[in-house]
Structure 1
Amino acid sequence: MKLSPISLRRKGFTLVELLVVISIIVALAGVAFVTAQKAMNTARERQSQKDCADLALAINNFIADHQGVLPVDSVVRMDKDKCITTSVEDPSRLITILIDREKGPELDRVNRTRKKYVSGAIVDNPKGGIFMNGRDAGLYDPWGKPYYVVLDADGDEEIQDPTSKKERPIFSRVIVYGTGPDGTGSQLDHKILEPEFTEDNVYSWKK
């Protein structure tokens, strides 16, 4: 039987067809990457929101157990609405006290109950958990930044909302917030009132 020229023609993809297929694969990979990044950022935001709420609850529990004593080192001067951080370098040593890792004699400890008020993964670097530096500890958000804690030092259970230019009290002994993916928008960098820096912030007292 004599084969036709078509049946003799070699089967396979042409260069144009290969380029089209490669372009489609690249486009699909790009869409998948963007979708994965959005899902990851959403998960991090939810974790940060949970951290803020859990930390505020932990501090309120500590204050209740210690008859109004704040979980900060005595060397820190506590004024009204004092803002401190959860950094391992912060002199307040907030997280160190809350997880009962204080040094020194029993009588010098702030955490007299010896309870562990904050739980979480111990991480090897300051990102997404409790980071230890010797016996001192810090709590960091999923982007590697500390959280910001505002404490009501005078005990009237009112804190001025740091995100509002108007007098807007929050009726609590403690509020906590994180600066989100961009790491900016805190009271300490003086950008807490600038929307372009705070639009990705997370808060314990609002969503």
Structure 2
Amino acid sequence: MAVKCPHCGTENLDGALFCDECGASLAEAPASQQGAGTAGQGTVDQRPSIPPPSAPAGGGTVQCPTCHHENPADARFCENCGGTLTAASVPPPEAVGAAPGAPAPAVPVATLVIADSNAELPLDLSKGEALIGRADPVSRVYPDVDLTPHGGYEAGVSRRHCRIFRQGDQFFVEDLGSTNGTKVNGQPLPPNQPRALSDGDVLELGLLRLTFRVNA
């Protein structure tokens, strides 16, 4: 049988612990009460009016976010714990993310390895090419790979000795008219004539030997 809320007079389902309308405790409310008016008596409930949660399409119930009790779709407060149900709404449909596209091809990372010291000099090809040579503040030449600390001056490396660049995934080396020339695997490289480079190729810039490495 219905249980009437002593605060707002709403008829609640038998067994409800809290009022669906105002959330007041129904523990002390008698099992049935006559609808006799109590105007001018008792305390007026000062709870602000809270709009009911959106009911699921086609009716149904609303789950309490606190205790997970299933309540009538139009209930404002949980029958079990009295918690507000305004936050308990129908879970939104799971967002469907965009189908992942094909992974971008890995950009090869190239390195020059000094033969005498095994020092590794990464090649920054983010701008498409890397200038190899010796830094010279007087001439305002600042190559991307400065071989001065690796015996470049003594080995006869020019300030602007050669450049290494990439087209797609293929690397190339081009001598820039250096004084002492460039060799690839022992073969002299004519100036301004690019030659393809492969992983493990040995470069000779003057007398300085380096190994070209590619890590995919």
Give me the TM-score of the superposition, normalised by structure 1.
Answer: 0.25
Higher strand share: 2
Q: Which gives a bigger RCO, structure 1 or 2 (Cα 8 Å, sep 6+)?
A: 1
For the pair shown, the structure with the greater C-alpha radius of gyration is: 2
Higher helix share: 1
